[in-house]
Chains A and B, each alone.
Chain A
Amino acid sequence: MASKKTNQSKETEENSSSRRDFIKKSGLLTALAFTPPSLVMASENKWDEKIAEYLETVPLSIEVNGKKHNLNIEPRTTLLDLLREQLHLTGTKKGCDHGQCGACTVHVNGTRILSCLTLATMQQNAQVTTIEGLSKGKKLHPMQEAFIKHDGFQCGYCTPGQIMSGIACIKEGHANSREEIREYMSGNICRCGAYHNIVDAITEVKEGGMLS
C-alpha cells in the first residue's frame, strides 16, 4: 500500500515537472509566479491547460461566406482546419494537407489559395469564400450547374476545390483555351480522372459569359 502511494506521488511529481516545463514554455510561469505546490494543484485540476489554452490562443476576426466570426484560435491552426473542424464548413476538403492536391482551395479576398498552407491567424479581417458560399439556397452558381451538366466529377471529393479553382481560373483570365484551362487547373488533382469533363464545364461557363 505504502509503496504504491510512493509510486503514485513520484508519478505526480514527474507529471507536474513536465507540465511545469510546458507552462514555462507558454510563458505562464512568469506571468503568474506559481509556487510548486500550487503547480501540483493546478496540474491536478488541469488549470494549467485551461490557462494555457487561454494564453496560447489569439483573437481572430474573419468573414466566411459573408458571416463574421470572432474567434480565439491557436496560431498553428490552419485555415483549412478552422473551416472544417471549428466552423463545421466541411465542403472544403483535406486531400493531402501539404499543398500537393488543391482539394482545400478557397477564395481569400477574391483570390484562390490553398487553405491547408494558410495559417488562419494571418487572415485577420479576411473575406473567405468556400463552396458553401457559392449557391443561394437551391440556386446554384453557374459553375456548379456546369459541373453537374458536364459530370465534372465522380466521387465528389475534389469537386469543391475544382469549382473554386474553376471560377478563379476564368476571373483571372486563364480560361481562353482548353489548353490554358488545363494548365491553370493542374493544381487540382482529380483521382477519379474527370479532367475532360471539368474542362468542358469551365469552357461552357467561360464561353457563356456567365461570370463577369
Chain B
Amino acid sequence: MKNFQIIKALSPNSAVSSINKENSAMFIAGGTNLVDLMKKNIAAPDKLVDITSLDLKKIEFLSGKVSIGALAKNSQVAEDKAIKEKHPLLALALAAGASQQIRHMATVGGNMLQRTRCSYFYNTDMPCNKRVPKSGCGAIGGSNRMSAIFGASESCIAVHPSDMCVALAALDATVLVEGPKGKRQIKFTDFHRLPGNTPEKDNTLLDKELITSIEIPDNNFNKNVHYLKVRDRTSYAFALVSVTAALDIQNNTISSARLAMGGVAHKPWRLTEAEEFLKGKTVSETTFRQAANLAMKGAKSYGDNDFKLTLGPNAIVEALTIASSK
C-alpha cells in the first residue's frame, strides 16, 4: 500500500471541501472494502478523508419514513428493534451479509459503494475494464460463475455484491447526498448503474459527492417478507443469487409485492414486471412460478453461470413461498 495523508472531517461540508482539493482523495469510514482495495493497489488515494466523526449515524423514524445515517453500522441497522419491526426485509438482508465483525465495521454508505467481487477485478494481473478501462473483460470467456445474467455489456459482466442494497432497492429507498454543488436526492434504483461501456463507474454519484443518509418510505411489508441468499457455503460467502421478496397479503390475495434480486446484475435488480403481475393474485406456487418466469425475461448467461438461469426463477419461487407462509 502506498502511503497517504489522512485528515478527519468535522462536518459533511468540510469533508466535501477537503476532498475537493485533491484528485485522488477518497472518503473513508468502515474501510472494510477500501482498505482491502488499497492493499491490492486497486485503490491508491494520496489522501483519505476520515468521515467517521460526522454526525451521520442515527436511525430516525420521521413522519412517513425512516432516515438512516450513512455512517450507521450494518450491524446497528440489522439489530435495530424498530427496523426489525417496520423493515424486517432490510434487517434480514443485512444480517446475511459478510460476518458479524465486518458488519460491526461496515457502514450503510460504504456498503452501497463496495466494489464488485469479480475475480478479474481483484486479480491485478488479469484484464478488467472496471479496474483498468479498455483492458478487456476477463470474465467473458473466462471464469464467470459469479457473473451477471441481466443488464451486462460486452465490457463488463460483473455483479454488485451487496445484500443490503437488494433490500433497499425493493423498498423504494432514496439516497441523500451532499457535494460541491450542494445537496440532492437519488432514487435508490437509480443509484447503481449498468456497466455499458464505462464499467469503471459503479454508480451515479457525482465526483466528490458524499452519501449522508438513506430514507425508506413507510410500507406494509412487515410480515410476509424473506431474504433468500443462495451461496456456495452456509455463511460468510457472497451471493450467487439472492432474492428479496416482500408481500402484502390480505385474505390470501397479494395486494402489493416487492421483488428484487442480487448477484445477477451490475446493480440490485428490481423485478417490477413480476411485482405488477403478482398484484391482485392469490397466493399459489403457480402464481409464483409465473412471476418468476416473467422476472427472468431477457436473462443471458455466459457459460459458468448458466445455472443462474435455473437457479434464479427457483430462488424467486422459494423466496415468495417462504415469505407468503410467514
Contact = CB atoms under 8 A, between A and B. Distances in A.
Q: Do A and B contact each other directly (Cβ–Cβ < 8 Å)?
A: yes
Interface residues of A, number: 34
Contacts of A98: 36, 39
Contacts, number: 79
Contact of B4 (A75, A114, A117): A75
Interface stretch (A6-14, A105-113, A134-142, A199-207): A105-113
Contact of B236 (A78, A122, A186): A186
A114 B98 CA distance: 12
A188 B101 CA distance: 9
Given A25-B46, A75-B6, A183-B234, 4 more contacts: A114-B101, A117-B31, A117-B36, A119-B6
A58 interface: yes
Nearest to B50: A122
Nearest to B1: A76
Contacts of B5: 75
B4 to A, nearest CB: 6
B311 interface: no
A172 interface: yes
Interface string A61-105: 000000000000011101000000000000000000111001001
Interface string A143-178: 000000000000000000000010011001010000
B105 A119 contact: no
Nearest 5 pairs of A and B residues by beta carbon = A187-B99, A186-B235, A75-B6, A186-B236, A76-B1
Interface of B: 1-6, 28, 31-32, 35-36, 38-39, 46, 48, 50, 52, 79, 98-102, 104-105, 234-236
Interface of A: 25-26, 56, 58, 74-76, 78, 97-99, 102, 105, 111-114, 117-119, 121-122, 165, 168-169, 172, 174, 182-184, 186-189
